[in-house]
Amino acid sequence: MAESQEYLADSSPLITAARLGKLRLVRLLVEGGAHVNERNQRGETPLLAACRALRGNQSGSTMLRLICFLLQNQADPNVQDKAGRTALMYACMERAGTELATALISAGADPSMEDYAGASALVYAINAREQDTIQALLDACRAKEMNGLAGVKII
C-alpha cells in the first residue's frame, strides 16, 4: 500500500487521473491546459501511465476512450519511460487487445522500437500470446518496410 501511495505521489494530477482511468477528469485537465506529454520521475507520460494500468477491469471501453482522447490531443505514442518502454509495449504486455494496438499504431506508434533490454512490442505480444495483436504488429512492420523506411526490424 505504501508503494502505491508513493507511486501516486510522484505524479501530476493528469498522470494520476490517466492511470486511474478517470476520463472526465483527464478531459477537464487537458482542456484546462495540462500538458499531455508531461513526465513524472519514472519518465511516464499520461499515455504511458494509462497503457501501463490496463490490467484488470480498467481495460474496458473507458480506458480505450481515454487513451484515444490523449492521442487526439497530441500525446506522443513513441515516448519511452526510464525502462525504454513505449505505450505500445505496455499495451501488448497488459494484453490490451488489437483495437488499442491499432489505435496506437495509427497515431504514429513505432512497432519496431525497442526498450533498453532489446525487446519490441512484438516480443511483448508474443509473450502475452496475443495472436491478433501479433498479426497487427507484423502488418504494421511490413507496411513500414514497404514505405521504404530503413532499419525496420520485425523481431
**Per-domain residue ranges of the chain:** 2-146
What mean pLDDT do residues 82-94 have?
95
Would you state the cell numbers that stand for residue 145, as one nine-digit string? 518496410
SS3 state of residue 68: helix
Confidence of residue 58 (pLDDT cuts 50, 70, 90): very low
**Helix, strand, coil in percent for the chain, rounding step 5:** 55, 0, 45
- Residue pLDDT, tens place only, 92-140: 999 888 999 999 999 999 999 999 999 999 999 999 999 999 999 999 8
pLDDT at 146 (0 to 100): 67
- CATH fold of 2-146 reads 1.25.40
- CB count within 10 Å of CB 8 equals 13
How many CB atoms are located within 10 Å of the residue 56 CB? 8
pLDDT above 90: residue 60: no
Residue 78 CA to residue 38 CA, distance in Å, equals: 13
What does pTM read for this prediction? 0.86
Task: For residue 3, name the pLDDT band (cuts at 50, 70, 90).
Answer: very low
Provide mean pLDDT across the span 68-80: 98
